[in-house]
Structure 1
Amino acid sequence: MKYGIAIFPGKELQDLANSLRKRFDPKYALIPPHITLVSDFEANNEEIKEISKKLEQVANHFQSIDLKIKKISTFQPVNNVVYLKIEPNVDLTDLHTELFSTLHLEKPTHAFVPHITLGQELSHDQHLDMYSSLRMRKFNYEETADRFHLLYELENGSWTVFETFRLRKDK
């Protein structure tokens, strides 16, 4: 089965992202707005039990994580994706790194860029239209994430929560 690990932002940020995703993200109905920590990986029923135990240990190493969004960005010219950019954050990067090392996953091919996708699989014109209309808009969202989620993919391509892990490190 295919699994992934993500943080879901709060309702206000989800509502904002969904209002923009509805038109430009073909995966709008398959998964809520999220910050991908670990993209999809395969595991069987036995492996996922061990992975869950390891994720609980990782969660115990971290306190809540501040998320700040100030602007829109894009992955162009690599691909036509438009996203809400999460400001660089040591805690978020450390969580991402520890997840990969603890789960012994192959290092990702791209650098970790925390973001919430708004539009993907866009034509050149759609990308230009979306990015041009949003890049001058000011965003000022701040919130704190206190958990991450292990997700799994259903047969219809949608993703749902398998287990939730609260960040619990003592201050």
Structure 2
Amino acid sequence: MNTRTIMLFPQFKNIDVINNIRKKYDPLADLVLPHITLVFPFESEISNEELNLYLDDCLCDMHPFEIELKGFTKQEDGYGNYLFLNVVKGIDMIKNIHDALYKDKLKQFDSGYEYVPHMTVGKITSIELLDRAFNDVNKCKDKFITIINKISVEMIGEHEESNIVIEYFLNK
């Protein structure tokens, strides 16, 4: 069975700023492009063709929309110590897509946690290092603005690498 995830891969003019932060703090920086996860990794027998049809069912009324990311938060939980780049515009659209995707065929994979759209830019080994990294990234005052026009389905390879298997374009 293949592990897949559904994500947005925003294309920002100043993406190099995010890439530089991720190179410092995100162990997955060389394996997957900067992204916002919509459906967290799941294993399913659903074929890519069926999944593509499901995306069409769920997202046929969705149109391209603008997002803006700015500012950082840190999160410590059972999964690790994370640095997030905050979504400050487009939150409702991203949540709507997330909710739509988890309603039917993927409902069994919903963890039940409140979904807060964000871009992970770091996973840090200790709380002390997380605090240092948080202070470092907060020097960045950049805004990251773009139009989201496609949803991507990634298959996670055996070495955690990202292989895009579906690109679903939102209606114009």
TM normalised by structure 2 equals 0.88
Distance 1:14 1:160, change over 3 A: farther
**Structure 2 SS opposite 1:9:** coil
**Structure 2 SS opposite 1:87:** strand
Question: How far apart are 1:42 and its partner, in Å?
Answer: 0.9
CA distance in 2, matches of 1:139, 1:11: 11
Give the corresponding residue for 2:33.
32
Question: How far apart are 1:124 and its partner, in Å?
Answer: 1.9
Matches within 5 A, 1:14-93: 14-44=15-45, 47-76=47-76, 79-87=80-88, 89-93=91-95
For the pair 1:168 / 2:171, whether they are aligned, the reply is yes
Number of matched residues? 168
Give the gaps of 5 or more residues in structure 1: none
1:98 to 87, 97, 100: 100
Give the corresponding residue for 2:128.
125
Question: How far apart are 1:77 and its partner, in Å?
Answer: 5.7
**Structure 1 SS opposite 2:72:** strand
Give the corresponding residue for 1:108.
111
State the identity as a percent: 21
Question: How far apart are 1:13 and its partner, in Å?
Answer: 4.7
> RMSD in angstroms over aligned alpha carbons?
1.9
Distance 1:3 1:159, change over 3 A: same
Distance 1:122 1:42, change over 3 A: same
Question: How far apart are 1:144 and its partner, in Å?
Answer: 1.1
Give the corresponding residue for 2:162.
159
Deviations 1:92-128 (Å, cap 9, x if unpaired)? 1111100111433232232111111111043222211
**Structure 2 SS opposite 1:27:** coil
Q: Would the aligned equivalents of 1:25 and 1:121 in 2 still touch at CA under 8 Å?
A: yes
Q: Would the aligned equivalents of 1:14 and 1:32 in 2 still touch at CA under 8 Å?
A: no
CA distance in 2, matches of 1:156, 1:40: 14
Question: How far apart are 1:165 and its partner, in Å?
Answer: 0.3
Give the gaps of 5 or more residues in structure 2: none
